[in-house]
């Protein structure tokens, strides 16, 4: 191919591309011109091998012609895109800057988190401080320091999740009480909400993970009367002023004496219904005076100090407050359920 013929073809391709771009009225039309001229299979690309057939003295002129053609087409491409953008902007409706902004939807706290916040607020008003601890615990913190005997059923691998290194997923938030007592001088007044784990078959009222809130008060001259008044205050704050409580003797390794604390049924007002099995009472929490052995394990002198402890399940409180009959719904992540709170 002669130089003159190559230059003519380049000029023809460039002129045709510029004319097509000046008339383009869409992004698709602009892209089509680009592909058929500068694309991998475009006309300019197809002519490039022809430079190898030219005499040496003509190659410089041919190279300049190729660059000029590419530059002209690229400029026409940029001008066409700018022209199209300006046209679209001119035809777009005007923005009224005086209109209020859109209200973007925001998330909600999970009902269990709401219950934790409410419980902590109630106890905080009574002088308690909310503290937390690790979910991965040692046997000593979870069982030994809490006076749990070696043959206690809760230590069995069928009830507790053990790791290969001997540690475990805590079965209660009581280890937080031991850690707090070991790291602080009395008086101690804390609540410890958090997630716990136990091997269980999931159903409407049980799960392998759940939330607890436990409380601890250690000081001089602490009595069972202080425990009762604290629980009663919490009950009336959380469920309303008409709620009554009763304490029944029980047994826990870490308290002595120990009690089960019942609240009057919040569904029937104590008259008897299906929820309370017609008894008028709901079992809510375990409590009692801190066992002297636990005080000694924490480095406290039981001759000088006394204290009480209590604990309850947060799922149960949430279910009762909102009349929910299946615990599993809390972890289903169903937005239809969560948006109600």
Instruction: Render pLDDT for 89-140 as a digit per residue (tens, 0 to 9).
Output: 777 677 778 888 888 887 788 999 999 999 999 999 999 999 999 999 999 9
Report yes or no: 5 and 12 within 8 Å, Cβ to Cβ: no
State the SS3 of 87-148: HHHHHCCCCCCCCCCCCCCCCCCCHHHHHHHHHHHHHHHCCCEECCCCCEECHHHHCHHHCC
For residue 17, say if its preceding peptide bond is cis, omega within 30 degrees of 0.
Answer: no
Q: Are residues 236 and 121 in the same domain?
A: yes
- Which of 188-192, 215-219, 270-274, 313-317 is the least confident region? 270-274
The residue out of 37, 57, 91 marking a domain boundary is 91
The answer to whether residue 98 sits within a structural domain is: no
Per-residue model confidence as pLDDT tens digits over 232-250: 999 999 999 999 999 999 9
Say whether both 77 and 144 belong to one domain.
no
- 44 and 193 part of one domain: no
| Residue 23 φ/ψ, nearest 5 degrees | -95, -5
Q: How many CA atoms lie within 13 A of 204 on its CB side?
A: 4
Residue 103 lies in a domain: no
pLDDT in tens, 129-162: 999 999 999 999 999 999 998 888 888 998 899 9
Same domain, 75 and 136: no
* Count of the separate structural domains present in the chain: 2
| Domain stop point among 91, 126, 146 | 91
Q: Do 243 and 281 fall into the same domain?
A: yes
- Tell me whether residue 179 is in a domain: yes
Please give the average per-residue pLDDT across 180-184, as a whole number: 93
CATH code for the domain of 287: 3.30.930.10
Q: What are residue 306's DSSP bridge partners?
A: 219
Share of the chain above pLDDT 90, in %: 48
Q: What is the pLDDT of residues 32-89, one digit of tens each?
A: 888 888 888 778 777 777 776 777 777 777 778 778 888 888 888 888 888 888 887 7
Of residues 194, 160, 164, 163, the one with CA closest to residue 177: 194
Q: For residues 74 and 118, state if they share a domain.
A: no
The span from the CA of 66 to the CA of 53, in Å, is: 15
In a domain, 102, yes or no: no
Q: Span 256-282, mean pLDDT? A: 89
Asked if 316 and 197 sit in the same domain, the reply is yes
pLDDT mean over 291-306: 94
Q: What is the pLDDT of residue 330?
A: 85
Residues 143 and 271 in one domain: yes
Same domain? 134 vs 84: no
DSSP class of 162? B
265, part of any domain: yes
Say whether pTM exceeds 0.75: no
Residue 105 lies in a domain: no
Domain containing residue 11? 3-91
Per-residue three-class SS string for 183-237: HCCCCEEEEEEEEEECCCCCCCCCCCEEEEEEEEEEECCCCHHHHHHHHHHHHHH
Q: How many residues does the chain have?
A: 341
| Same-domain status, 181 and 291 | yes
């Amino acid at each position: 191919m002669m130089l003159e013929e190559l230059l003519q073809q380049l000029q023809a391709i460039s002129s045709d591309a510029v004319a097509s771009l000046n008339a383009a009225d869409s992004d698709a039309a602009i892209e089509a011109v680009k592909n058929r001229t500068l694309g991998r299979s475009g006309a300019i690309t197809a002519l490039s091998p022809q430079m190898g057939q030219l005499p040496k003295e003509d190659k410089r002129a041919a190279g300049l012609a190729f660059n000029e053609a590419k530059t002209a087409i690229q400029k026409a491409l940029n001008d066409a895109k700018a022209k199209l953008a300006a046209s679209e902007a001119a035809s777009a409706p005007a923005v009224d800057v005086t209109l209020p902004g859109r209200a973007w939807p925001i998330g909600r706290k999970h009902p269990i988190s709401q219950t934790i916040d409410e419980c902590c607020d109630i106890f905080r008003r009574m002088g308690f401080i909310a503290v937390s601890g690790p979910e991965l615990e040692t046997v000593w913190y979870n069982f030994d320091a809490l006076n749990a005997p070696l043959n206690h059923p809760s230590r069995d691998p069928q009830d507790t999740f053990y790791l290969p290194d001997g540690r475990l997923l805590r079965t209660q938030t009581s280890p937080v009480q031991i850690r707090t007592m070991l790291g602080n001088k009395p008086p101690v007044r804390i609540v410890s909400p958090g997630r716990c784990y136990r091997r269980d078959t999931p159903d409407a009222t049980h799960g392998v993970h759940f939330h607890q809130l436990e409380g601890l008060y250690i000081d001089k001259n602490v009595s069972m009367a202080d425990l009762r008044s604290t629980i009663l205050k919490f009950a009336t704050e959380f469920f309303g002023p008409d709620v009554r409580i009763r304490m029944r003797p029980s047994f826990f390794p870490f308290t002595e004496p120990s009690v089960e604390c019942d609240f009057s049924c919040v569904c029937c007002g104590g008259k008897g219904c299906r929820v309370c099995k017609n008894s008028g009472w709901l079992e809510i929490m375990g409590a009692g005076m801190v066992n002297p052995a636990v005080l000694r394990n924490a480095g406290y002198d039981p001759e000088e100090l006394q204290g009480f402890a209590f604990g309850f399940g947060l799922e149960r409180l949430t279910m009762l407050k909102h009349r929910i009959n299946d615990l599993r719904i809390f972890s289903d992540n169903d937005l239809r359920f969560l948006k109600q709170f």
